[in-house]
Structure 1
Amino acid sequence: MNVTTLMQERVIFGKDIPAPINALLQAAAGSTDNFAHAETLLLQAQREAPEQLPVYTALYKLYFYNGHTSKAEDIVFQSLHKAAKQGGFHYDWSKVEAAADWAEPDSPGRAYLYSLKALAFIRLRQDNLKGASGILDHLRRLDPTDVIGADVVRALAVSLEEESA
């Protein structure tokens, strides 16, 4: 008799994620109140599936929301490199033009854009308004319809700029 255990997903991380990796991601999503445990699960997922871009997204979000900005930044750069390699475009955001498939939700291009948005947010947290603005300006060219929601970060940047003036 073949028994299948169905686990309710807390978060949908994407399609085509191997079941064992999705289980680690789901367990980490359910452990947000225990940073060390969630980090352990996500690092295990990264070791076991280093090409799965949703693992990087979950990991940099965990680090960022727990105040580990430097670690979040490191993982964002890893995500940018992986997504660029998978998508066949340059990893340096300042050299990327609108040549990738940004529209497909589970594409490397979309993961790249989300990682850029995260990097802009990290730059704001680091009080690097100029760095964040440069990324956000480039994101506007790559994603003119704002599919990834960078306008939220852009509004925060404008607000911070107004406060500092």
Structure 2
Amino acid sequence: MVNLFTGVESTELFGGEVPPAVQRLVDEARGMAPERAGAALWTAVLTFPNCLPPYYLLYKFHASRGELEPANEVARKGLAVAAAQASIDRDWRAVQPADADFSMPGPARFWLFTLKALAFISVRRDEREEARQLVEKLRVLDPADRLGFGVVEGLLTQSGSR
């Protein structure tokens, strides 16, 4: 499944195949007006709640449009589904580096990537303390910064200097 915005294969990030019906909804969303594209992506998430890539596409869709409340809602739902699939604690604050292999494509990597998205969304919502806590957790779980939390950390620092 290709990201609607970047063209990057989500399977490279998260692993696994998506059901053909999900792929059809995503393909349809690419050619639609934004309102209809959002509805198609919501349909994919609600119809296939255990399929992770549509959560990613939907929270990216909302965040790119400045719709931070629905982006936050979708990211948190995706985080919960990924936590269950990766057999890690539902509370992100309790997750430790040894709980999963966050470097391999799959639910744990999706979970970590979504944690980064929540940090970004928190910065944009001016929820500085939440963003700071998320970045600190990302630093613990991804000390080599393979998923790029440093970008969010930079935004957090920049937003604090205004």
Q: Same fold (TM over 0.5)?
A: yes
Aligned residues: 152
**Residue of structure 1 in register with 2:101 after alignment:** 101
Task: Say if 2:28 is the partner of 1:12.
Answer: no
Q: Give the distance between the partners of 1:85 and 1:75, measured in 2 at CA.
A: 16
**Residue of structure 2 in register with 1:57 after alignment:** 56
Return the offset for 1:112: 0.6
**Residue of structure 2 in register with 1:112 after alignment:** 111
Worse-superposed segment, 135-144 or 62-71: 62-71
Contact preservation (8 Å) 1:56, 1:76: yes
Contact preservation (8 Å) 1:94, 1:138: yes
Letter in 2 for 1:162: S
Letter in 1 for 2:104: E
Return the offset for 1:127: 1.0
Q: Give the distance between the partners of 2:145 and 2:28, measured in 1 at CA.
A: 31
Q: Give the distance between the partners of 1:135 and 1:90, measured in 2 at CA.
A: 15
Taking the TM superposition and a 5 Å limit, the aligned residue runs for 1:13-162 are: 13-14=10-11, 15-31=16-32, 34-98=33-97, 99-105=99-105, 107-162=106-161
* Bigger RCO (CA 8 Å, 6+ sep): 2
Contact preservation (8 Å) 1:83, 1:112: yes
Runs of 4+ in 1 over 4 A off after TM superposition: none
Return the offset for 1:29: 3.5
Indicate the RMSD between aligned Cα atoms, in angstroms.
1.6
Q: Give the distance between the partners of 2:147 and 2:120, measured in 1 at CA.
A: 13
Letter in 2 for 1:29: R
Contact preservation (8 Å) 1:63, 1:71: yes
Contact preservation (8 Å) 1:132, 1:157: yes
- Cα deviations across residues 104-127 of structure 1 (Å, max 9, x unaligned)? 12x111111111111111111111
Between Structure 1 and Structure 2, whose CA radius of gyration is higher? 1
- What percentage of aligned pairs have identical amino acids? 33
Letter in 2 for 1:20: A
Return the offset for 1:11: 4.8
Contact preservation (8 Å) 1:11, 1:29: no
Contact preservation (8 Å) 1:11, 1:26: no
Q: Give the distance between the partners of 1:144 and 1:29, measured in 2 at CA.
A: 35
> Gapped runs of 5+ residues in structure 2?
none
